[in-house]
Structure 1
Amino acid sequence: MAMTTTTTTTTTICSTISPLKSPCTSLQPPSVSSSSSSWKFGTNLLSKEAVTIAAANEAVVLARAAVKVARDAVALASLTEEVWFDGEGGRGVERDGRSDLMFRRKKRRKRRKGFGRLEVDDRKDGQCQRLVMYEPVQSEYFGWPEEAELCLRLQDQARLDAVRRRIAETQEYEPTLEQLAKALEMKKRSVNRILCNGRESLKSITCSHRKLVISIAIDYQGKGLGLQDLIQEGSIGLLRGAQRFDPKRGYKLSTYAYWWIKEAIISAISKNGRLIRLPGNTWAMGAKIAEANSVLRTALRRSPSYDEIAEVLNVHVSTVRLHFERTKSPLSLDRSLTDQGCMTLQEIIAGPDETIPEKIIEKQLMKQELEKLLQTLSKREAHILRLKFGLNGQAPQSCEEIGRLLKLSRERIRQIKVTALMKLRRIGIATNFKAYYA
């Protein structure tokens, strides 16, 4: 029985190490006639070879693991840098070389804490850098009763602020809490409670509708204001709508405040979206022209002309042309025209006609001729014409303004002006100035 067990063990060891070593057919167990010393020597030799082969296998596994770790390190080092903005502290912390797993875990932890993810592409020096900003955008959804209560508290604070502004305008200083309570015929504690409830309601409404504001603001990116500015303006519009919200009508605050958010964003773009501010009617016409331009471009598969846009909008062609001229982006006169920067835009733009020497001389001669003609009139007639047409270097004035200055009626000033012009026509003013307009 002892010999059978030894043979089985030796065969198992040989089958295990056979892929790495030569076949074990030559390693036969010693015969029964062999001495005990030779049998012990063969057994020790087999055990040493098995340990050596096992160690070699372990070394191969460790080498493969080291290669895998090195590849992962290279992949981590080649990842794009991302800037993470913590919503709580407001400070930027640079984190370089994050794997996808770490990225997902970070995103999940931030979402659980109530921080939403906003990605903005910021191009700087020709390179696109992705800014990942975390802000507290978790929406705390309220039911209709909670929304109604918050809006009513906000409206109470708005009425209190209106009284405060009225007192400040009257007395020219900010009223104290006691003066405010006396003006409202309320207790100081009640006024303080209204202010505290208003601040809490303002924060709750802003946080609960943050996603609504962001979804509207995203559609207006690239029109002159950044995403953060658009979100800020939309939040102001949200609070303005909440102050006018009537819970008794039965609809939700988000339905009513949608228009106020959109209107606040559009108004902010029209006021601050351009270096040179355009009037509000120009922006309204611009929206119609942009819509008509998009529809015609899709239908005609080319850029539409001014006449085609004017025909669709039923407006004059000059209105469309004037809009495109006014909405052009302003250019700096110091802008370089070449890569070397040796020439600027200011150096190639022609100056006004007043700077040309010939025009300056003509203007001086015309003033001399005009003074000779005014000397043929009475002093009052010449003075009124100078004030009316700005010949004295000042801005032209109306007959009413001249009448207040000379203590005469507007009709009397008009009569004197007409009489003076008739005298100049009889003298032949057209003949004297014909050379300047030839």
Structure 2
Amino acid sequence: NMVLLFQEDKSMNLKEILAKELKDLNDEEKKFVADNSDKLSKEEKVKFEKELEKCRIRSQSYLRYFGCRHNVIDDFGEVILSSYDRFLLLEKEIEDLIPRAEKNKFANVKLIAAKRKLDKRELAAGRTLQEFKKDVRMLQRWMDKSQEAKREMVESNLRLVISIAKKYTNRGLSFLDLIQEGNMGLMKAVEKFEYRRGYKFSTYATWWIRQAVTRAIADQARTIRIPVHMIETINKVLRGAKKLTMETGKEPTPEELAKELGLTPERVREIYKIAQHPISLQAEVGDGGESQFGDFLEDTTIESPAEATGYSILKDKLNEVLETLTDRERTVLIERFGLLDGKPKTLEEVGVRFKVTRERVRQIEAKALRKMRHPTRAKQLQAFLDLMEEE
């Protein structure tokens, strides 16, 4: 009786072809009501009622093809409740206009228009406002029962979610997260399940749960998201590698794996590289969680204790050798090679300090280096030179 209301509401989101059929049938019903209700004889009214009943039966027969899906029930319920709200607004408007209509002509005109509008809505619904209220109360009870049935159906199949989630542990998501994602898939399965097809609900729900879990792993398990199709490719390569390992007893090379899977070795190496999991520097290490992964990484910018000790001893020995030179020779070498501050100077810069030419500085430097190469001095640094050659 209220199917026409579904078609009048613009918010309705039913795209099935059957909706058009329902509209055509109810347009036919409306035409009967508008054209013949006041003109028919008693016999014709009986005939009219029979025709009208046929239309309603046909409408109900089409409704069953919607499958009574939960989202369809929600759509119908929302539309009816929306129409019911408009009924109540009209009723409230009429109640407010009645006391004013006796004294105000304009209010009387609005009252007549509101009553006509209410009559049209009652005609479209095929029932009076009071009957409509009764039907809405019944609808709300059934919608509450529908929600309760949905909740009970979900709770009754939570074990199914757990059994499926167990198969996807150690994939980057915690077990509780897998269960949560599986529950979301289960709720979607409850909404879309059609018992008339003859399949068990557990068989149908398994696919929705598995899809929800695998999609969550693909989207959330990695720091850097990998597309779903690439996840499938990675799994294919890993399965192939596992198969070859069982057959040959050793880890397959990229070339062997490429031949088995019909890929190029470069593609296999690329897939292996993509499959690597990045590790967070803040990842906890050990059961206590007191240490982080970053604590065990070497800082290459800092000298190791062995190197620092070696450089300290070398510096002391070098100073002992430099003490055997004259003050000028020692200062020229220190300035030229930056032995003091690590900043070597040019011949011109050293010459400015000693007030000599750059050529004279070069001569002093050459003389000092010859003295440093003398066996009596060089043997003190020979151990360090041998160590540097070994490195």
- Alignment TM class, shorter chain as reference: 0.3 to 0.5
TM-score scaled by length of structure 2: 0.41
TM-score scaled by length of structure 1: 0.37
Higher helix residue share: 2
